[in-house]
DNA sequence: CGAATCGTTGAGGTCGCTCAATCATAGTGG
DNA sequence: CCACTATGATTGAGCGACCTCAACGATTCG
């Protein structure tokens, strides 16, 4: 599955996010820190976030999630290349969610408390940190609206459109066709649905000619129809 | 209703949040900006967030919310005294939610783009801004988990416990008994439930001896039972 | 081939929704 | 003082979106 994502759909596509380049460009001495790879399925539990774990996801997909006592899982947000990881881990609060690698992934850790980064890093970094945090919040808020007040169909459509738009911004696809290494169960866990029901929702969306999701590939056939169904407005993604 | 909150339940309680004092303490010249009052029900639509509207809620309750095309409302978060308002309004992204005053409220605007505050303000302010943002995100994420994966009863219990804990931190109540100027409909809109169903949920919680909500007052009778039911852990509130 | 994972479909149950009515309280104008 | 209205809480009845349990097919991998 990972191979599919990394290799076949966008063979020469960029593997590095714009956001990362921006950070690196202004940073004295380039990009200090340590880059590490993680295998698919690696989980960093929320108790294990050390203060130096503020970093950037360079490649691959990950998910911030929570697991409840009865085993139910809620994926809070998917992390795509360029997204900050654990932006505020050492400010005194528990991070609150686990991070699970959904593909092979590489993460660049800045190796410093985020507080030091904030005060000693270049001004541009401060702005970026603020931007990244506020975007995270906007994304989560939008998901909250979806889960709280949209039905399963609109909710699903909305998430697929969001993923397409986010991937397009980092050069992975054109917003209508993109590699998506998620299982239906994972998608359901992000949407607050059961996997079985999501399966039926996807079938209906497919039968209506709106979007197909198969073989780790999302193909949006009617982006206007889908956006209308979901009331999707990508402004919150900047 | 507002009088009830302001006057009777916690007659001498602090009206100013700790967080605000912290900001003011380090700020050169005290607390520059402008303080304005708003009447109950005043709404600042998300299109109207000007860049200078970054500020702090000094008193009263407000709600960040979204209204969908069919009229359904989702309250994304309640804003309590000390909470930042529109922390990232001028960073290029639409704020994404309306702000509605749920009581008479006063907001202190810093009257500068948040970017200027970030770079020119005291270092302590940068840290606070980051803390405030990450806390907002944690709160919203926790609500997302609730709405996505907890049933209506646990969801309701969780929110009431959260409100109690947040209010306690700013000196409004002891976590088990606090003024709450919300209607059941508002509570329902924050929880992704219908008002009618929330009413039944509240009745069941009352009959089980866990919590009572009446006359703009929440009284938690069995905080341990309620926390167990909701799997509540207040660590995400710092 | 056996095991594991994922997707797909059917059947039935339930949680939470919608529609509708009633009651309580407060405010308003005559 | 009393209609009249508006808002919010409460309860009943019926329905539907979504869940759970269960089975089965397809694919991959050791």
Confidence of residue B168 (pLDDT cuts 50, 70, 90): very high
Of all protein residues, which has its CA closest to the C1' atom of C25? Answer: B215
The structure's pTM equals 0.89
3-state helix/strand/coil string of B50-80: CHHHCEEEEECCEEEEEECCCCCEEEEEEEC
Q: Which of B147, B167, B136 is nearest to B74 (CA)?
A: B147
Helical H runs in chain A? Answer: 2-3, 18-26, 114-120, 123-149, 152-169, 184-191, 195-207, 223-230
A185's tokens:
């169960």
Of all protein residues, which has its CA closest to the C1' atom of C26? Answer: B1
The pLDDT value given to residue B93 = 64
A205 touches strand C (CB under 7 A): no
Q: Are B23 and B31 in contact (CB under 8 A)?
A: yes
* CA A69 and chain centroid, separation: 24
The pLDDT value given to residue A90 = 64
Q: Are B102 and B182 in contact (CB under 8 A)?
A: yes
A91's tokens:
């400010």
Please state, in angstroms and rounded to a whole number, the distance separating the CA atoms of residues A183 and A193: 13
Mean pLDDT, chain A, as a whole number? 85
Q: State the nearest Cα–Cα gap between B210 and chain A, in angstroms.
A: 21
Give, in Å, how far the C1' of D13 lies from the CA of A88. Answer: 50
Contact list, A140 vs chain B (CB under 8 Å) = 137, 140-141, 144
Q: What dihedral angle (degrees, nearest 10) is formed by the CA atoms of A7, A9, A13, A14? A: -70
A152 touches strand D (CB under 7 A): yes
* Interface residue B10 vs chain A (CB under 8 A): no
Contact list, A145 vs chain B (CB under 8 Å) = 66, 68, 74, 76
List Cβ neighbours of A183 (8 Å cut-off, separation of 6 or more): none
Residue B76's H or E segment, with its range, is strand B73-79
Q: In what order do the strands lie in the sheet with A84-85?
A: A34-38, A105-109, A55-59, A84-85
Strand partners of residue A178: A218
Give, in Å, how far the C1' of C12 lies from the CA of A196. Answer: 15
Q: Give the count of beta carbons closer than 10 Å to the beta carbon of residue A157.
A: 25
Q: Are A53 and A115 in contact (CB under 8 A)?
A: no
C-beta atoms of A130 and B142 within 8 A = no
Please state, in angstroms and rounded to a whole number, the distance separating the CA atoms of residues A17 and A32: 17
CB-contacted nucleotides of strand C (7 Å) = 5-11, 15-20
B2 touches strand C (CB under 7 A): no
Please state, in angstroms and rounded to a whole number, the distance separating the CA atoms of residues A197 and A213: 15
Question: Strand A217-220 and strand A177-179: pairing?
Answer: antiparallel
Please state, in angstroms and rounded to a whole number, the distance separating the CA atoms of residues A197 and A184: 10
Q: Provide the residue-wise pLDDT of chain A in tens; the chain has 238 residues.
A: 332 222 222 222 233 344 444 444 444 334 578 899 999 999 998 877 766 678 899 999 999 999 999 999 999 999 999 999 987 766 666 668 999 999 999 999 888 888 888 888 888 888 888 888 899 999 999 999 999 999 999 999 999 999 999 999 999 999 999 999 999 999 999 999 999 999 999 999 999 999 999 999 999 999 999 999 999 999 999 7
Q: B169-208: per-residue pLDDT in tens?
A: 999 999 999 999 999 999 999 999 999 999 999 999 999 9
Confidence of residue B26 (pLDDT cuts 50, 70, 90): very low
Please state, in angstroms and rounded to a whole number, the distance separating the CA atoms of residues A171 and B199: 48
Burial B67-86 (b: 16+ CB within 10 A, else e): beeeeebbbbbbbbbbbbbb
Strand partners of residue A44: A99
B196 touches strand C (CB under 7 A): yes
The pLDDT value given to residue B113 = 80
Tell me how long chain B is: 238
Cα three-residue angle A115-B144-A164, rounded to 5 degrees: 85
- Burial of B207 by CB count in 10 Å (0-12 exposed, 13-18 middle, 19+ buried)? exposed
A185 touches strand C (CB under 7 A): yes
Give, in Å, how far the C1' of D4 lies from the CA of A151. Answer: 40
C-beta atoms of A238 and B97 within 8 A = no
Most A CBs within 10 Å, among B64, B130, B139, to test the A interface? B130
Q: Are A236 and B46 in contact (CB under 8 A)?
A: no
Question: Strand B55-59 and strand B84-85: pairing?
Answer: antiparallel
How many A-B residue pairs are in contact by the CB < 8 A criterion?
Answer: 145
Q: Which of A131, A174, A128, A165 is nearest to A21 (CA)?
A: A128
Residue B107's H or E segment, with its range, is strand B105-109
Contact list, B74 vs chain A (CB under 8 Å) = 144-145, 148-149
Half-sphere exposure of A238 toward its Cβ, with a 13 Å CA cutoff?
Answer: 21
Tell me how long chain A is: 238
Q: Are B190 and B78 in contact (CB under 8 A)?
A: yes
Please state, in angstroms and rounded to a whole number, the distance separating the CA atoms of residues B209 and B220: 9
A210 touches strand C (CB under 7 A): no
Q: Which of residues 74-93 of A touch B (CB under 8 A)?
A: 74, 76, 87-88, 91-93
Give, in Å, how far the C1' of C21 lies from the CA of B204. Answer: 22
B75's tokens:
């309250």
């Amino acid at each position: 599955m990972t191979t599919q994502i990394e290799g076949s759909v966008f063979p020469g596509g960029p593997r590095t996010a714009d956001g990362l380049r921006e950070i690196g460009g202004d940073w004295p001495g380039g990009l200090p820190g340590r880059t590490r790879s993680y295998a698919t399925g690696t989980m960093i539990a929320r108790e294990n976030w050390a203060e130096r774990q503020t970093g950037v996801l360079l490649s691959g997909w990950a998910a911030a999630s929570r697991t409840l006592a009865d085993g139910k899982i809620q994926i809070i947000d998917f992390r795509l290349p360029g997204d900050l990881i654990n932006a505020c881990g050492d400010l005194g609060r528990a991070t609150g969610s686990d991070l699970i690698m959904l593909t092979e992934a590489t993460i660049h850790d800045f190796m410093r408390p985020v507080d030091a980064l904030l005060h000693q890093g270049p001004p541009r970094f401060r702005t970026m940190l603020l931007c990244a945090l506020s975007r995270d919040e906007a994304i989560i808020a939008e998901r909250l609206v979806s889960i709280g007040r949209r039905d399963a169909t609109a909710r699903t459509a909305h998430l697929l459109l969001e993923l397409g738009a986010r991937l397009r911004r980092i050069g992975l696809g054109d917003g209508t066709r993109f590699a998506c290494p998620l299982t239906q169960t994972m998608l359901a866990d992000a949407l607050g649905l059961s996997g079985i029901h999501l399966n039926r929702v996807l079938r209906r969306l497919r039968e209506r000619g709106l979007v197909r999701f198969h073989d780790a590939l999302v193909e949006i056939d009617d982006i206007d129809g889908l956006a209308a169904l979901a009331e999707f407005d990508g402004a919150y993604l900047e």
